Amino acid sequence: MKNHRHLGVPSLLALAIAATSNPLIAQEEVLEEVITIGTRVEGRTATDSAVPIDIVTGEDFVNQGDTDLNNLLRNMVPSYNVNNQPISDAASLVRPANLRGLAPDHTLVLVNGKRRHRAAVIAWLGNGVSDGAQGPDISQIPAIALQQVEVLRDGAAAQYGSDAIAGVMNFKLKDSPDGGSIEVKAGEFFEGDGTQFTVSGNYGMPFTANGFANVSFEYGSSDATDRSVQRNDAAALIEAGNTAVADPAQVWGRPEIDDDLKTVVNLGVDLDGSKEFYAFGNYGSKHVDGGFYFRNPETRESVFAWYERDANGNVIDQGPLIADLDSSNGLNSCVGMSHADAMASDECFSFQEMFPGGFTPRFGGDVTDLAGVAGVRGETDGGWHYDISAGLGYNDVDFFIYNTVNASLGPQSPTSFDPGAYTQLEKNFNIDFVKGFDIGLASDLSLATGFEWRDEVFEITTGDQASYEIGPLADQRFSAASNGFPGFGPLAGGQWSRSNIATYMDMEASILDPWLVGLAVRFEDFEDFGTTTNFKLATSVDISDSVMLRGAYSTGFRAPTPGQSNAFNVSTEFDIELGELVNNGTIPPTNAVAQLRGGEALDPEKSTNWTVGTVLALGPVDITIDYFNIEVEDRIAPSQLYSLTQAEIDGLVASGVTSAANLQNFRFFTNDFDTTTKGFDIVASYMTEAIGDSTSFSLAYNKTDTKVDRFTPETVDATRVRELEEGLPESRWNLSANTLLADWRFMARVSYYDDWFDSEDVQVYSGEYIVDAEVGYNFGENTSVIIGAQNLLDQTPEENPGAADGVGNRYSQFSPFGFDGGFYYIRTRYEF
């Protein structure tokens, strides 16, 4: 939504200024559930909309114990899913989230109605549904800055452009010119770990005589958690006398997050009676340090051991991997030597000298996020309302990995590395116009049109030399590059950009008093793959004062990102069938090696989306029921893994993937499967004064079912299909109650998560119920203390029966409600 104003409807800026002298206006008009997405007619409410829109208020976010906006949304919107991502490469830094069962980059994110930039991170590991996605990072927005969040549960590419397939989320910032609040929050998991501490604040002030400035911040930290069991292979080493092996050898849990800073500024100035200047933006940064897979000191290939395999990959011989540091007398002096003998030799070297108990790398990154938008909106003498704006978004993830080696460097290897960085930079320019015309219908015909220019840049910054170098011991079977997350070499580094232009037309009117119709058409031209045109038709009919029917049909698209088209990555993953770690690489689809297996330049995904539903106003009870059907063709995702021949390995090394010498498999992005996602949402609310001073109840239910309609077995395997169809809960719901009683406030919420498939554990985990509760007391008019618990009953997923035999994860890492158990917290809030 472009925040246009209409004659007779006061602007939000004017309302905010008026609130200085009349708080009732701020409460009843500014914070009323007026929507700014899904329509370009200002003043429409969620229940008036022809498409389903959820409203989550700022208080809904603040009245929770967590600080990550992803988790806060998950608790309130059942169609929104996000999990912990404990050992998922870069996805541990920017966690991928899913709306209505689709990928993170199928949801368009707006802030104050303007497109938010995507994160630099590509989720290489995401339980199938999120694999390869590059979506925005909403965790950089502090909850205290939000007035409300609007979740449009319908396709909207014809209105907003690429990515709006699953829906649109608009984060509306606070715009009060006075007052504020400060809050201190501390909490810990029932297990005694994962301690969190945050301090946050919001302050509104006048900005000149005719404007406002509203600023928010949040600063905090979060300790790591541990929900591991000792791996059997590590336990066997300890039993055999290796006291250097840690217990647990591999930690599964939340990563450690330090210096988590989030800031937001929102301001506006009334320039004269017909135009306004506005600007908003955010800056955020954090340091994330997480775990990785254990490297066994007896069996880890290319570091501690060598393996010889037949043509089918079966091991036919193996032994300790010992380096010969003096090649002047040949390379046979250390062959067949044990690790113990090597450590007693000056000529021979074993990595057990550096890591006698093996090692578990620590991987993380420093995340920086910056965005700003500025614009002018107003009204021409001819009655056209305009909005002209420009925006810039920047996200950078500077990776690090330590407690590991570049084995090909032998004893000269450092144990900490800078593998490089991913950077995303986006620029936007928009011009939008809207005007109402009286053409004899039941309402004015609202006609909107506009133009957009976007430029998107993805950059890979090379790492330090040791992180990607092929050292002198590579020809003795030692792995090159930093083990666990190889650095980006000079040929893998680079910068790739794409620009596009778009124009649209949007019309909306009440044909008859009870019958609303909207039509939108949008044309876009991308410099890499060409043009696309999409449309949307939406309508609603008031059957009576208490019943409305609504429905919409639209086409949409999602353009491949420059990152997906060009990124290199190597991930260390646990292979269930082999029972060992393997290095799997992702290469650009236009790389010569990928082209041998069908790789080619990516095309946009195409979608059709239709919804039909009803809105019921039954006295004190409001109910919405909406059915949805989303068909996506030529979905973009990583292919299945292909084994590498020696010729392909040599080709990858030549193209810049220096770690290819140690790759078992590779994959690439491809347009290769179609899906249909369908289901329905039910939202109900009820308020009564029969309990306490007032009590409100809300129920939200979502059922989502995804089927893969078409795929090519040579590029998308059966496991990936099952991940897409079963990786997320099919059903979710939550029932909550809030009671006010004098100076007390009570909140209780019950949430249900259906079962899900975990491809790593090859198991379906059963659904669970989660209970949250909170009690608050107001000390006077300004101060309140709140005590609460998330997951009050300390519910965890059922235990992984293969944890000890595998990699030690006690619970499914893809649990939709997390696996850390109960979390208690205390909040102190002061308002002024």
pLDDT tens, position by position, 10-67? 333 333 333 333 333 333 333 346 778 878 777 777 778 899 999 998 888 888 878 8
In this predicted model, what pLDDT tens digit does every residue of 472-502 receive, in sequence order?
998 898 998 999 999 988 878 899 999 999 9
CB 484 within 8 A of CB 361: yes
Q: pLDDT tier at 579 (50, 70, 90 boundaries)?
A: low
Are 481 and 509 contacting, i.e. CB atoms less than 8 angstroms apart?
Answer: no
Q: Are 548 and 80 in contact (CB under 8 A)?
A: no
Lowest-confidence pick of 7-16, 296-305, 318-327, 642-651: 7-16
Is the Cα dihedral 814, 816, 819, 823 positive or negative?
A: positive
Q: 3-state DSSP call for residue 789?
A: strand
Backbone angles phi, psi at 447, to 5 degrees: -115, 120
Structure tokens at 173: 């910032």
Which residues does residue 831 pair with via DSSP β-bridges, in sequence order? 181
Q: Which residue type occupies 664? A: Q
Q: Please give the C-alpha separations between residue 532 and each of 326, 436, 507, 565, 604, in angstroms, as whole numbers.
A: 62, 28, 20, 19, 9
Confidence of residue 6 (pLDDT cuts 50, 70, 90): very low
Helix (H) or strand (E) holding 13: helix 12-18
β-pair type (621-638, 569-575): unpaired
Tokens 């907003």 sit on residue: 160
Q: Which two tokens stand for residue 493?
A: 């580094």
User: Which is nearest to 285 in space by CA: 360, 230, 221?
Assistant: 221
Assessment of whether the complete model's pTM goes beyond 0.75 = yes
The Cα–Cα gap between 84 and 114 comes to: 28
**pLDDT number for residue 491:** 77
Rounded Cα gap, residues 796 and 304, in angstroms: 36
CB 406 within 8 A of CB 466: yes
Chain mean pLDDT for the chain: 89
Which pair of tokens denotes residue 262?
Answer: 């989030």
Name 475's Cβ contacts closer than 8 Å, sequence gap at least 6. Answer: none
Q: How confident is the model at residue 638 (pLDDT cuts 50, 70, 90)?
A: confident
**Judging by DSSP bridges, how do beta strands 768-779 and 547-558 pair with one another?**
unpaired
Other beta carbons within 10 angstroms of residue 258's beta carbon come to: 14
Q: What is the DSSP letter of 408?
A: G
Mapped onto helix, strand or coil, the DSSP state of residue 360 is: coil
Beta-strand (E) ranges in 559-620? 569-575, 580-587, 605-618
| Residue given tokens 């009655």 in the structure block | 383
- Least confident range from 232-246, 609-623, 658-672: namely 658-672
